[in-house]
Structure 1
Amino acid sequence: MLTPPIPRPSSTSAQSQRILVIEDNRETRQWIAETLLATLPGRVIAQAATCAEARETLFGPAAQPPGLVLVDLDLPDGRGIDLIREIRQARPETLAIVITIFEDDQSVFDALAAGADGYILKGVRSEALADQFRRIEQGEPAISPRIAQRLMAHFRNMPPVIAHKEGQMVALTAREQEVLRLIARGLTMVEIAAALGISQNTCATHTKAIYRKLDISSRAQAALAAERRGLV
């Protein structure tokens, strides 16, 4: 689940500069935005306090899709998990990362199952939050240490049946393995297509096949699958 810094192509540079913070508490939202600007200078930070405001920013007629969305789970008019599902469907190139106070198993696994690309806890110092933002910028999965420990404990206690059929690991084609490896490194669909010399449609087809075969639904799960297969 480790990835080196990945340069963004010019075609997606404008989108990669935009970040949306979805958080209902004004002081917390401002703290997140200020930490982002101090850590990643030059970014354009949009803010939303409700699901309705977030949907307008993400999908409205004047929407300028962000490259990164930070989503609180508990919002006044809905659930952040529902927003993550909508982002995965309509904006698959956008990173959707949970930022919350909730660290229970239900919240963590529901968010990852919905397609969250990471899970950050808010109850930390600004320096720790800034470190998470730097990791995101470098293409690394954004997982707070306590959440990573919880995930590892969960999978250690599970029987080794994930992504297996009749005791055998589900087979991926050579091309699918290449795509999975690059997904785990944090590349976007545009970047993967360019790196492999294939069209974006072909890349999307391979990605869908990988997710279907491995029964996964997010980049975080893809990174874990790639690590298990020795691809990263």
Structure 2
Amino acid sequence: MTDPGTQSAAQNANPPLTIVIVDDHSIFRSGLRSELDPALLVLGEAATVDEAVAVVIATQPRVVLLDVHLPGGIGGGGAEVIRAAAPQAPATLFLALSVSDAADDVVSVIRAGARGYITKSSSGAEVSDAARRVAGGDAVFSPRLAGFVLDAFGAVAGETASTSDELDRLSAREQEVMRLIARGYAYKEVATALFISPKTVETHVSAVLRKLQLSSRHELTAWATARKLL
């Protein structure tokens, strides 16, 4: 018979993997929660971009199971959740879990910072395993989606290296601002999404244009589009 004290000590030495589930369908959230490995500890759920950002920041989970298409925010879906929450939850990792297997969706959320992307056809056991692997430092993708990531990030080595060199001129915050401005968002919308002031957004935009040697938001959008950064 296991000594209760020994069992308690073992649990403390190996704390449970903490999870937040983000999906706008309550039935899916409930079903996924019931199918996850009981050893995973679900700290909370969210149905919208704004709810997700708040829950992630408040609970600081190790892994967020994140749908790609979500209502709320300024239209960025799961990618917007990552951009807004990650700076304030630095130990949290994001695993996209979506019905979509479109290349644009996969690339968008990975560029935002997700550590993997699996489809909703995955079983509870497969999702649990993927969450553990992401928490352990792996990048996890459903088999047919891996090709999208390779194509987007490494197919043309010269182009990738050139874009990387240009992005290295920008700070992490300047890159976040650059992507939102290039998508056509107003300064106030960017400020709301990133929890900074419109004046700070303006300062970052000026720095981005100067570092990239561009003269306008129109040129910035063309630059980002050509490099598939949107």
TM-score by length of 1: 0.55
Residue number in structure 1 paired with 2:18? 18
Q: Tell me which structure has the larger Cα radius of gyration.
A: 2
Does the residue aligned with 1:98 lie in a helix, a strand or coil?
strand
Runs of at least 5 residues in structure 2 that lack an aligned partner in the other structure: 1-11, 169-230
Q: Does the CA contact (< 8 Å) of 2:153 and 2:160 recur in 1? A: no
CA RMSD after TM alignment: 3.1
Contact 1:87 1:96 in 2 (8 A): no
Paired position in structure 2 for 1:74: 69
* Bigger fraction of residues in helix: 2
Q: Distance in 1 between matches of 2:70 and 2:13?
A: 29
Q: CA deviation at 1:42?
A: 5.0
Q: How many residues align?
A: 151
> Is 2:37–2:128's contact at 8 Å kept on the other side of the alignment?
no
SS, match of residue 163 in structure 1: helix
Distance 1:47 1:108 in 2: 22
Aligned-residue offset at 1:144: 1.4
The answer for the alignment partner of 1:230 in structure 2 is none
Task: Give 2:37's aligned residue.
Answer: 37
8 Å CA contact 2:96–2:109 kept in 1: the answer is yes
Cα deviation digits, residues 90-149 of structure 1 (max 9, x gap): 222210121111221211111111111211211233343344234335432121111113
CA offsets 1:175-219 (integer angstroms, 9 cap, x no match): xxxxxxxxxxxxxxxxxxxxxxxxxxxxxxxxxxxxxxxxxxxxx
Q: Does the CA contact (< 8 Å) of 2:154 and 2:160 recur in 1?
A: no
2:24–2:71: 8 Å Cα contact kept in structure 1? yes
Give ranges in structure 1 of 5+ residues lacking alignment.
Answer: 1-10, 171-232
TM-score, structure 2 as length reference: 0.55
Q: CA deviation at 1:20?
A: 0.6
Aligned equivalent of 1:229:
none
Q: Is the 8 A contact 1:33 1:45 kept in 2?
A: no
The structural deviation recorded for 1:32 is: 2.1
Mapped to 2, the partners of 1:52 and 1:160 lie a distance apart of: 38
Identity over aligned pairs, percent: 28
